[in-house]
Structure 1
Amino acid sequence: MQSLVYLGPGAAALEERPDPRPSAPDDVVVRVIGTGICGTDRKILLGHFPARPGVVLGHESVGVVSSVGEAVTGLAEGDRVVVNPTLYCGHCARCRRGATNHCLNKSGTEVGVDRDGTFAEFVVLPERFVSPLPANLPFRRAVLIEPLACVLNNVRAGGVGYDDVVVVLGAGPIGMLVAAVCERLARRVVVVEADPYRLDLARSRFRRVVSPAEDVGEAPSVVVETTGNHLDEALGLVADGGRVVVMGFDDSYTSQVTPLRLTNRGISVIGAGDYPAEVFPQAVDLIGGLDLPELVTHEFPLADHEAAFGALSVLGYSAMKVVIRSDAGVPAGPDGWPGER
């Protein structure tokens, strides 16, 4: 099979890898239909997030079950599925108390980071990390399930409630999902974005969208920082007694935070990390009814991976959610994605 392999900062290439087969009784082999490019994938290539050279990139994936191990009972060949790439062992002390997102045995299990991911024609995972899709949920919307799970975990960690004013820094796919979820929970949501392309798309959906030079209005009780490199700005915006949720990933960014600034103003800085196991099915249930513009704006075949990442250039965006399609030869439905089973 064709696979997009990470070679080191700034470099990835297509390689032929053996087609996976079930090697454990609970293994499920998924024929990948499409995988969204995550900000993490982009930052891996930029050298701003660590990954293992030689790993197959990608983790925001939907597909169709190709084959299953002998112990698999909940899935069958041909089922439409979404991949949950946040693996956990299930038996360490943290997993036993429900903190599967902080599993002590994470090494080698981060799909698309240090375990082979989904920018490929097939991927194999244990059954518990492959979820069936609702029959009426299109693949184009389902590819947003994994990023939505990240959002739900962070919004929950921020304790967003009906009396909150929320400012979302960044109007990429994550920022748009955060704003859509917070609209259901908070009394006011403001989105801040600098990039003209993403600013215009956010303004087509949300009532209060501003550039960084504009006033956000009432000081927010919650700031969700989705870019990974604007913590200082978030601390400058948040009201006394407020919460800053640090959601974006950028290993190259540092911030000098004076502890007294936090204690005097009563500010909480929150990092939620990966989502625990129970959040992923919540995202599966929620994504179909979430009020969003069309976030999947561009699709590229696996062979055109350079153009796919180029649409998310550091010089300026020309896309929102970019999906790399791996479904060559699979019959298409009316929207260009494969139809029902």
Structure 2
Amino acid sequence: MKALILNEQRGLTLVEHPKPEPGPADVVVRVVQTGICGTDRSVLVGKFPANPGVVMGHEAVGVVDSTGSAVTAHRPGDRVIINPTLYCGSCQTCLEGHWDFCANKAGTEVGLDLDGAFAEYIRLPERFIHAMPEEMSFDRAVVVEPLACALNNIEAGRLRAGETAVIVGGGPVGVVCALAAWHYGARVLLTEPDPYRQELCREVFAKAGADRVTVHTPDDAQLARRGDVVIDTVGNLLEQSLAYAANRGRVVIMGYNSKAEATVRPLELLQRGLRIIGAGDYNSQLFPKAIELARYLPLEELVTHRFSLEEHEQAFAALAAAPGTPYSALKVVLAPDPAGAQR
């Protein structure tokens, strides 16, 4: 099969790769399309670690190709959504229900140290394969995994109806966070410096009827001390996020950036009653909830570009993978067969 692997120079190389065969409890999925995540981009620009030689990609949807002898929930031909946040289920942390902090993560990070979905096929254990609602399109379903991430961070921030949420960053995850926070009943202020993405965000919110969501530049004075909950979807804007937080506000660090550092004044946290929260990966118990919520959110409006595996350089270029280059897309997906990806 064709697959995109991470090479030693932190780039992607299209190779012929062995097609996976299912073990007894496994499902092999023919990948229809896979979203490019901010984490994927961070790997390529050196902000997040991954193993050279791994097949990258994790935000995938597809059709069941084959199943192992012990699989009972899925059969060939089923349309499915992949949950890439794996857990062992048997360590002490998992037994306590904290699957997102599984002690046995090494070798199970899909697209980082376990072969992922920038390929024609992917193999995972049955419990990480979810049925796609019959009426849901692949374009909507491919954004379910980012929606699960958004729900995890919103719930970590204990956002309540009637509060104000400030979402820092207008990329795909920021937009999904804003839509989910709006669905929760919050007033939402999203910050984004890039004019192109600002306009894309406004278009998505208008199509969703998200009347309590507004888009702002990061230096807009209206943002100062407004957020009951502030979510940094970029991962390196903690200081800025603290300035957006209202007294007694909760600041959630969501974006992944292994090189980010920040200076925090403990006295300010004390005097203003601020809380800084790291939510980590989502608990997989949230994934079915994200699928259900996706029925009511026009997530397909985020998908602006679709490329083949062979066109991966153009795909990442649209996401400004090179520092200093402008954005020209919102959500970009890679599809082994782009012509059939929307069915």
Partner Cα distance (1:245, 1:276) in 2:
16
TM-score by length of 2: 0.93
Change (3 A) 1:289 1:163: closer
Identity percentage of aligned residues: 48
Deviation at 1:209, TM superposition (A): 1.0
**Is the 1:9–1:46 Cα contact (8 Å) retained in structure 2?**
no
Partner Cα distance (1:186, 1:216) in 2:
20
Match of 1:244, SS state, is strand
Partner Cα distance (2:54, 2:186) in 1:
43
Q: Could you say what the CA RMSD is over the residues aligned between the two structures, in angstroms?
A: 1.5
Matched, 1:273 2:280: yes
- 1:13 partner amino acid: T
Q: CA offsets, 1:137-169, max 9 Å, x none?
A: 000100001100000111000000023111111
Deviates more, 1:208-217 or 1:240-249: 208-217
Match of 1:241, SS state, is strand
Deviates more, 1:84-93 or 1:176-185: 176-185
Deviation at 1:221, TM superposition (A): 1.2
Match of 1:201, SS state, is helix
Partner Cα distance (2:297, 2:202) in 1:
17
Matched, 1:260 2:267: yes
Matched, 1:89 2:99: no
Structure 1 segments of 4+ aligned residues over 4 angstroms from their partners: none
Match for residue 326 of structure 1 among 336, 339, 343: 336
Partner Cα distance (2:188, 2:14) in 1:
42
What corresponds to 1:98 in structure 2? Answer: 97
Partner Cα distance (2:8, 2:111) in 1:
13
Deviation at 1:9, TM superposition (A): 5.1
Match of 2:301, SS state, is coil
Partner Cα distance (1:287, 1:99) in 2:
24
- 2:217 partner amino acid: S
What corresponds to 2:249 in structure 1? Answer: 242
Matches within 5 A, 1:186-335: 186-204=185-203, 205=205, 207-217=213-223, 219-291=226-298, 294-313=301-320, 314=323, 315-327=325-337, 332=340
Deviates more, 1:123-132 or 1:206-215: 206-215
Q: CA offsets, 1:206-252, max 9 Å, x none?
A: 54211112223562111111011111100111112110011011112
Change (3 A) 1:179 1:98: same
Deviation at 1:187, TM superposition (A): 3.8
**Is the 1:29–1:68 Cα contact (8 Å) retained in structure 2?**
yes
What corresponds to 1:20 in structure 2? Answer: 20
Deviation at 1:288, TM superposition (A): 2.0
What corresponds to 1:107 in structure 2? Answer: 106
Partner Cα distance (2:238, 2:119) in 1:
35
**Is the 2:140–2:300 Cα contact (8 Å) retained in structure 1?**
no
Deviation at 1:50, TM superposition (A): 0.6
The alignment of Structure 1 onto Structure 2 pairs a total of residues equal to 332
Partner Cα distance (2:12, 2:334) in 1:
14
Partner Cα distance (2:9, 2:279) in 1:
26
